[in-house]
Amino acid sequence: MAEVSWLSEHQSTTTPAPAADVRGATSVFDAGFGLLDGDEQGWQERALCAETDPEAFFPEKGGSTREAKKICTGCEVRAECLEYALGNDERFGIWGGLSERERRRLRRRA
């Protein structure tokens, strides 16, 4: 599979210690992606966020999530992304169209 975008650049074979990067984007996207086989990683390569600025998906505290959520709305892998975030307890960023707070609420209801 051809590597595309910023998402591919941040995949690794181990889960590294958090790196100093823009609002934690590197550490969040390194969170185990390199440990998945090709079939499990396929959704990431089809994700619309992989073609956009990652900063939109990691707004500063109190910052707008509108741009990222708008991108997620039209994404074909939104469900897979949300499933990944919930399964891996992602605590930062917009995943599957939901913020950290929205994912917490969803977990509580489940």
Mind listing the pLDDT tens digit for each residue in 16-68?
Answer: 333 333 444 433 344 444 445 555 668 999 999 999 988 999 999 889 999 99
Q: Which residues are annotated as a binding site?
A: 49, 72, 75, 81
Give pTM, 2 decimals. 0.64
Q: Which residues are annotated as a binding site for [4Fe-4S] cluster?
A: 49, 72, 75, 81
What is the per-residue pLDDT across 82-100, written as a single tens digit (0 to 9) for each? 999 999 999 999 999 999 9
pLDDT of the residue at 61: 87
Radius of gyration, CA atoms only, the chain: 13
